[in-house]
Amino acid sequence: MNNLVIGQFIPGKAWLYRVDPRTKILVTVVYVFLLIFASTWPAYLLATVFLLAALVLTGQSLGLYWRGIKPVLWLILFTVCLQLLFTGGTPVLWQWSFIKITVPGIVNSAYVVLRFVLIVLMSTALTLTTAPTSIASAIEALLKPLKWVKVPVAELALMLSIALRFVPLLMVETDKVMKAQKSRGMSLSTGSLLKRSKAVLPLLIPLFIGALQRALDLANAMEVRGFENADQRTRYRVLHFTKDDLIVLVATSTYIILFIFLLFVH
């Protein structure tokens, strides 16, 4: 459970913590969107440099980010294998029946690894430096124009805030249940795949029941306190743009221009 870094918030005083959450969310969305269209090595190199600068500004060690990558390595390897074995093109380096390894397959596999790693690390940098309540407030502020088409933005932001608050609680609860099961002699890391899959069921049932009970308690507490309309809520912390946000926006705009230039040139 300690390896799940993405989604966690670690308080700090580094420079990136002072940036408005709306700015960080916009930069992350733009970064991921551009990365989807990256198809050249110079573009990936530029994206890597931009990401490394962001990671350094978080003030956290790079080892922490590597620990956050490890839980998704299996998914990365699975995707790489699909790209490597089932991508057509020439020249063909090895072939057996309909399975073959080609040079375009190797290149696409490398791109997939980079894309996965860069997206996960950028998302981790966002959540590590931004409190869940700030993320919810920023999303509500960014989605305000949707109120003109009758979208319940405030309710959606409230749901997101509650969901983000439940994540660390569920992680702690999962850790407790796993330790309780291990103390009773259950092993989750030994035996066949079928045996380990069956051992997960005693974890899921108490977690599911506990999550429902927490949700009911929260709903009752909100009802008792007379909560009716999320639009009427006041904010303890009001979001403000500062010169730090201006610096980030200028740097991001420069990155966008260079990225598009590298895509068209190469």
pLDDT recorded at residue 233: 67
Q: What is the mean pLDDT of residues 219-247?
A: 80
Residues 110 and 226 occupy one common structural domain: no
Q: How confident is the model at residue 265 (pLDDT cuts 50, 70, 90)?
A: confident
Residues 126 and 89 occupy one common structural domain: yes
- Going by C-alpha positions, the residue among 162, 157, 168, 151 that lies closest to residue 239 is 157
Single pTM value for the model = 0.79
Lowest mean pLDDT among 63-72, 88-97, 136-145, 236-245: 88-97
Residue with the larger pLDDT of the pair 263 and 100: 263
Over residues 93-114, the pLDDT tens digits come to: 777 777 777 878 888 888 888 9
Residues 8 and 120 occupy one common structural domain: yes
pLDDT recorded at residue 249: 95
How many residues are there in the chain? 266
Residue 198 tokens read as 């069956």
Domains contained in the chain, number? 2
Q: Residue 142: inside a domain, yes or no?
A: no
pLDDT recorded at residue 43: 92
DSSP three-state, residue 99: strand
Q: Residue 136: inside a domain, yes or no?
A: no
Are residues 98 and 28 in contact, defined by beta-carbon separation less than 8 angstroms?
Answer: no
Residues 39 and 65 occupy one common structural domain: yes
Residues 46 and 109 occupy one common structural domain: yes
Residues 123 and 15 occupy one common structural domain: yes
pLDDT recorded at residue 145: 87
Is pLDDT above 70 for 74? yes
- Structural domain of 195: 152-235
Residues 6 and 109 occupy one common structural domain: yes
Q: Residue 179: inside a domain, yes or no?
A: yes
Residues 105 and 227 occupy one common structural domain: no
DSSP three-state, residue 218: helix
Residues 116 and 208 occupy one common structural domain: no
